[in-house]
């Protein structure tokens, strides 16, 4: 993206509140004092065998970037690539899975674009809205904040085990349910808490392909802080540790580790496979939320009472973009 900054200097686009100069989960463009548009896109090849589930997961993943900004999705455009020999029923099920997930989010699919490709791919371009003063960026974490993570980790190793024919059915069923689940309720509750407690949610991002370590580093670096994360408090999908110990890892894990390990410090004795697992790329993962300590426990209780899966995993400390695993 660096060459594009010279073409689109921030000073020439004052209404672009979040863009190339302030990277985040989505771009945000201010329309007026009360309205800002959120724009994001994501698509990828199938991560599970069931076409309907794949469509739902891909849609939930794309919608998540709007929720990560504290926004509300309002419209989506399908992005699809299908082989010429793929049957109509399979294509229809992928699109139906995505459409029903968009409807669950309270948004609408208004069109799309499809091309021919050797491998199926599906996702969305999503437009959302947020008040310009209520954006929750990933760059606002403050020293003393408590870190809350929704959803379990480990979707990468489980879906890789599935591709290799080595995954147990119950593990696949659980991870499909998790990946298909919208981040809608945590995002709405974050906005509610900010209104009630004067912006106690300082930063938020969703955990996807760069892993907890990668997206955690982004939050830490952009906020000019360090994150301290407790290894024992991380929750993993059932089967994730089993497949990791067998070294059934996605290729993206190694790319994540090669790049992000320079900012990760592990203050514990871990087997190699468990250290590697920290870099597991996630699909449609949860939200990492930095919240003021005074509201952390009540927010966690409220989010659990709403039926969401969440846990406190650590704290924010002074620093410069490092992650300390203890």
Question: Tell me: the pLDDT tens digits for 81-117?
Answer: 999 999 999 999 999 999 999 999 999 999 999 999 9
Q: Which residues contact 216 (CB under 8 A, 6 or more apart)?
A: 227, 229, 288, 323
Going by C-alpha positions, the residue among 254, 223, 232 that lies closest to residue 316 is 223
Q: From 2.60.120.260, 3.40.50.620, 3.90.650.10, 3.30.70.890, which CATH number describes the 137-325 domain?
A: 3.90.650.10
> What dihedral angle (degrees, nearest 10) is formed by the CA atoms of 203, 205, 207, 212?
-30
Q: Where in the chain is the domain with CATH 3.90.650.10?
A: 137-325
Q: Where in the chain is the domain with CATH 3.30.1330.10?
A: 2-133
pTM for the predicted model, two decimal places: 0.97
The pLDDT of residue 1:
54
Burial class (CB in 10 A: 0-12, 13-18, 19+), 49: exposed
Q: What is each CA distance from 187 to 43, 71, 229, 288, in whole angstroms?
A: 22, 7, 22, 11
Q: Which residues contact 107 (CB under 8 A, 6 or more apart)?
A: 63, 73, 74, 75, 76, 126, 128
- For residues 217 and 313, the answer to whether their CB atoms sit within 8 Å is no
Q: From 3.40.50.720, 1.10.10.10, 3.30.1330.10, 3.30.1050.10, which CATH number describes the 2-133 domain?
A: 3.30.1330.10
Going by C-alpha positions, the residue among 59, 27, 31 that lies closest to residue 40 is 27
Counting as low any pLDDT under 70, the low residues of the chain are 1-2
């Amino acid at each position: 993206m660096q060459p594009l900054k010279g073409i689109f200097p921030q000073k020439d686009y004052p209404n672009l509140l979040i863009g190339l100069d302030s990277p985040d989960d989505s771009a945000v463009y201010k329309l007026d004092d009360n309205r800002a548009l959120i724009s994001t896109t994501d698509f990828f090849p199938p991560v599970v065998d069931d076409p309907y589930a794949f469509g739902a997961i891909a849609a939930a993943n794309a919608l998540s970037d709007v929720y990560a900004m504290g926004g509300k999705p309002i419209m989506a455009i399908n992005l699809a690539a299908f082989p010429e020999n793929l049957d109509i029923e399979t294509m229809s099920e992928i699109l139906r899975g995505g459409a029903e997930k968009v409807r669950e989010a309270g948004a609408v699919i208004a069109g799309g674009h499809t091309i021919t490709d050797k491998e199926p791919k599906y996702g969305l371009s999503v437009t959302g809205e947020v008040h310009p003063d209520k954006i929750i960026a990933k760059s606002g974490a403050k020293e003393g904040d408590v870190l809350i993570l929704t959803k379990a980790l480990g979707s990468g190793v489980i879906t890789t085990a599935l591709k290799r024919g080595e995954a147990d059915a119950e593990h696949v069923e659980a991870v499909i349910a998790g990946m298909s689940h919208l981040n809608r309720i945590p995002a709405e509750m974050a906005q509610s808490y900010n209104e009630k407690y004067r912006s106690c949610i300082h930063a938020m991002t969703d955990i996807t392909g760069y892993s907890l370590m990668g997206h955690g580093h982004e939050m830490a670096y952009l906020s000019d802080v360090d994150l301290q994360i407790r290894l024992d408090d991380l929750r993993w999908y059932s089967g994730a540790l089993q497949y990791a110990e067998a070294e059934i890892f996605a290729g993206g894990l190694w790319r994540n580790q090669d790049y992000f390990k320079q900012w990760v410090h592990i203050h514990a004795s871990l087997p190699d496979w468990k250290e590697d697992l920290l870099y597991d790329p996630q699909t449609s993962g949860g939200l990492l939320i930095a919240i003021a300590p005074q509201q952390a426990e009540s927010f966690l209780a409220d989010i659990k009472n709403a039926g969401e899966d969440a846990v406190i995993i650590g704290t924010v400390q002074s620093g410069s973009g490092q992650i300390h695993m203890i």
